[in-house]
Structure 1
Amino acid sequence: MSETVNKLNELLKTQLLGLTGKAALFQLALICRNEGLENIKLFHFIVTLPLKNAPTFTKKSIDELRNIFNSLLATAFKHAEIQLLAGRMIRNLIYGELLNVGTGWFVDKKISQSESFKWMIQESLDSLDKADKNF
């Protein structure tokens, strides 16, 4: 399990190199979505495992992922409250996407699963950006 999170961490570091702000968060969401869909059963196990029960090496991997994510949130939004909301919103969208796509709920072909996810992430980031500016 920690190997999968470590792989995701390295992938994020490589593919997000030089990106900051909303562009980096958008790409992070896409990478997490794609990696999660490729390893859907492992994803379900990881997100349902209470962190207090995770082995120490897995906690370290998850902490590194959290640090990457929080660093990017800080480049996109200046207010701590908006960063917190943004982190929760993005995680909820990723988890919801993986749960729904992974279990076969999103089957309507009018809009592709990928395109609807991109739209939701972009709309969320834009809304959070507006809230951050008006805070």
Structure 2
Amino acid sequence: MSKQVLTQTRIIECGIALINNGSAVSFANIARELGTKSQALYPYFANQQALSYAILDQTVASLVERLKTDLFGKTGREALVEFALICRRVCLEHPRLSQFIVALPRSEDAIADEPVAAFRTLLTQSVAAVVASERARLLGGRLLRDLIIGELINISSGWFNNAELPQEDSFRWMIERGIDALTVEDRTPTK
């Protein structure tokens, strides 16, 4: 195999491909795929954690761009439902990568601050277009994340296979009922 020019982007893309194929993301595996030695990756990433967060960074940035494109012109409840459906579809299109991203611990020194912040902003804006109270917005954000991650885990492990009720239909139903509950919560006076 001939040596290839290394870049951060090529290394990250190789890591993503390995994850999607069910292989471990390690410097050794990436170097083997790129036709180089593990040591050649260190100028680009200090360690495995830095590479993992760079993969998170690129993956979330890609999701944010898709959300911005697909949600353009949509508002309110319609935008919030579509936000959830897009996230669900992306997760299920790449279940191994999504599970890798979800499993990464979040910490103050995480490298992927910008894309994660952009995702949170889109999520917050989508929820805030439907409910006004801080409590309802927090509940809405948690509701969406929990339902999306639940779908990822359950569907990719073989659950929810019933032809009478398609998976996306039941997901949409749960999102709609959740939004109904949020609007009630939003009107409930706080103690």
TM-score relative to the length of structure 1: 0.92
Change in CA separation of 1:120 and 1:54 when aligned onto 2, cut-off 3 Å: farther
Which is richer in helix?
1
Fraction of identical pairs, as percent: 38
Structure having greater relative contact order (Cα 8 Å, sep ≥ 6): 1
CA displacement at 1:109 relative to structure 2: 1.8
CA displacement at 1:14 relative to structure 2: 0.9
CA contact (8 A) 1:21 1:77 kept: no
Give, in whole Å, the separation in 2 of the partners of 1:124 and 1:12.
Answer: 20
Q: Secondary structure of 1:51's match?
A: coil
CA contact (8 A) 2:83 2:126 kept: no
Question: Superposed, which structure 2 residues align to 1:49-64 within 5 Å?
Answer: 49-52=104-107, 55-56=110-111, 58-64=112-118
CA RMSD of aligned residues (A): 1.5
CA displacement at 1:133 relative to structure 2: 2.3
Q: Give CA deviations for 1:31-78 in whole Å, capped at 9, x if unaligned.
A: 00000001100100111101128741x232111101111111111111
Which entry has the higher C-alpha Rg, 1 or 2? 2
Question: Superposed, which structure 2 residues align to 1:1-135 within 5 Å?
Answer: 1=55, 2-52=57-107, 55-56=110-111, 58-135=112-189
**Letter aligned with residue 71 of structure 1:** Q
Q: Secondary structure of 1:109's match?
A: coil
CA contact (8 A) 1:86 1:128 kept: yes
CA displacement at 1:29 relative to structure 2: 0.3
Runs of 4 or more, structure 1, over 4 Å off, are none
Aligned residue pairs, count: 134
TM-score relative to the length of structure 2: 0.66
Q: Give CA deviations for 1:13-41 in whole Å, capped at 9, x if unaligned.
A: 11111222221110000000000001100
Listed as ranges, the gaps of 5+ residues in structure 1 are none
